[in-house]
A and B are shown apart, each in its own frame.
Chain A
Amino acid sequence: MKEKMKKQNKKAQSILPKKAVGRPAKVAIRQLPSGVRGLDAILGGGLPEFSFNIIAGAPGCGKTTMVHQIAFANATPKKPALYFTILGEPAIKMLRYQQQFSFFDEAKLGKAVRFINLSDVALEKDLNAVLEEIIRQVTAANAGIVVVDSFRTLTRKASGDAGAVDVQSFIHRLAQFLTSWEATTFLVGEYAEEEVRDNSLFTMVDGIFWLSQMSERNSVVRKLQIYKMRGQATVPGLHTVRIDQGGLEAFSRTLGLVGSTTKAASRQRLSMGIPELDRMLGGGLLEGDSLLVAGPSGTGKSALATQFIAEGLRHGQPGIMAIFEERPEGYTQRAGTFGLNLKAAVQKGTLEALYLRPLDLSVDETMQAILDAIKRVGAKRLVIDSLVGFEMALAPGFRADFRESLYRMIGVLTGAGITILSTVEVEDNFTSLQFSHYAISFLTDDIIRLRYVEIDGQLRKVMVVIKMRGGNHSKDIREYVITDKGVVVIHPRRTDYEALVTGIPRQTGPRKAQEDEVPPEPKAPH
């Protein structure tokens, strides 16, 4: 008998195609677009089709807006989105407010997106009746997306031990029906974070979207966390969320920049637009480097950044200037006084000046704005002026993440061959040479330090290249001026002074004859 079975099995195996005897193919879970910018990347590609999800959080976090975006992004007349409202925000008010968002497509209303109020059933009958009505409506409409808002108020109606069982049974039957019906479901509810552990709803659902608002000092920021998403890997952690005219936008804490990139083995030298400085840098800045220009106010950091960008444009390298301290017009105006026409580049689309100054920005959304601009113009050079202004523009709650996010962004951008010049203001003291109070030098490949020194009864300016990761550089401390040509390095290194870096040097050589400056050194307007 055994022998016979063995023979039969062998025969059967030989008949089967080779594929069938291997590991059976996994089910492919189709992913739906969320319609929320940035969310698909956080979700690991999109919303898993036929999943049963909850969008939870405190009032005012953006739950309703998020689910509207999902509904409008996926609803079609053949597979409509049914939006059940129950004892929550009245539908008429929902329509009133949600139509203000650009994603709200009036043409979809009634056919592709349908609102159904179940308050009467919920108030007059029980959960069974609500379930029956949902089943009736979903079956009749052949819904592809189902929203129940607010699920919390619906289940609150049932109380006590018996009520808890009713709720559990209701959720179970609802999930069973909607999944079998091939609908992707979103329950919307106001829940507190501590409820996740004790409420069986959170065990039963496939996905948990948690929205929250965090306040620190005077600013409030919205956050999103994907607590759970069965079947796919999501980006962990708290992601910033902003609600504007386009609806909800999510900013992945990894900025979508995953994986490391390595710099090309052979990189060209880029001119800073200041020949003497290029020589100090060993022939120019290495392509894909991150340069930090540190110095006190008025030493010409922005002027140097302007020349860096303008030189790139001259060589056909588009650029982005992320400005946090002055208006873009100030930049282009100053460039004009140096004989650099940045306005033309802006008009041509090879240069974009981002003026980012609101005081409640998140570091992720700011960096997203920079990344978007880089993509738009195909930038090869980026100026961040300044890191202090950048940090100040952030809501206080985000400042702790500043260095981490900056590190991530600089790493990926420079890896992609973009050369970055960041400025940072440091206060000069007259005992030592501080590079930056930020401890960000680990972020940068190269550092140029600008400082004031007292020489011959004048407050003059000197620069020195502190560090160049990719090659040798000049060790000279060089005096420079800001003229109608921008930053101009003058004089060879001084050998008649020592302790220049302290700002109060001592004269060691013979005193040279000095001519009075009449008129004083021309200065770029601010």
Chain B
Amino acid sequence: MADVPLTRSERRAQRRIRRFDNPWLNPKLFWGVGLLVAIVALGILGRMFWDPEMVFVGSGLPKLPPPGFENLRGQTGTFAHPLGTEGSGRDMLALIIIGAPNSLYVGLLASLIGMSIGIFLGFTSGFVGGRTDDVIRVLSDVMITIPPLLILVVFQSAFGDVTLTLMALLIAGFVWQSPTRLIRAQVLSMKQSGYVQMARLSGASTWHIMFREMMPNLVPYLFGSFIANVTTSIVTAVGLEVLGLGPQRIPTLGRTIYEAINAGALIQNLWWWWGIPTLLLAVMFIGLLLINLGLDEVSNPRLRKLSV
């Protein structure tokens, strides 16, 4: 072929084909990771370039709007508090710089612990079978039907003030069921597959079959399940915080919304107080959703499209 310049549609087709070749290069994954990285960057850069001490009460005048807006008292916003302040004069920007990474941290930690429990129980159940399998299966089925928020409300009220890590641990107790079921099903079907039988014929130990033969093939599923769990964990954590439970002294997005609702921010039209944390949560969830869709494309080649 000569050096005929490609038309636009041809170039687009080529890009699609490249993307088809390397599924990790898909735009959904790219944007999803980008949004989450932006939130983490907000936490890191914010601490460097903004004063995190302003999360304390009385850092400024209370209920100041962002610059260019006016609150009910007729005060206009200043650039000292670019996102305004909340009811007790805490700076909103400092609040989200500290709060947003906290919410993400609870989600990731809870999901990580939940996945580890799920991997362990799923493999045990699928491999050992018999009575052990029955117990684990029934346990995870029962746990799925119990609404986690109900139990957690009771737990958290009993614990009173909890740390972020303790909250993550409590939530982890409710996100191990679906990875357990997923891995158990995969292990059961893989156990019959030719390559596992070949490995048994080769004198492989159970450990080798689990972690060297089966695990690598589970990676896409594990990733997908992990991300879905992060979403569930954040939703649960925020749910508890909005109810006024969870950590009392550490700023989180959920707690900020709780305080806003409590102080009547909705009727006083203090939209920046509840609106900004909500927006950040939305960005976080959209990021996680995009990552999940992107991973789906990686693990399921049938979703990849060559033509539009």
Do A and B pair up? The answer is: no
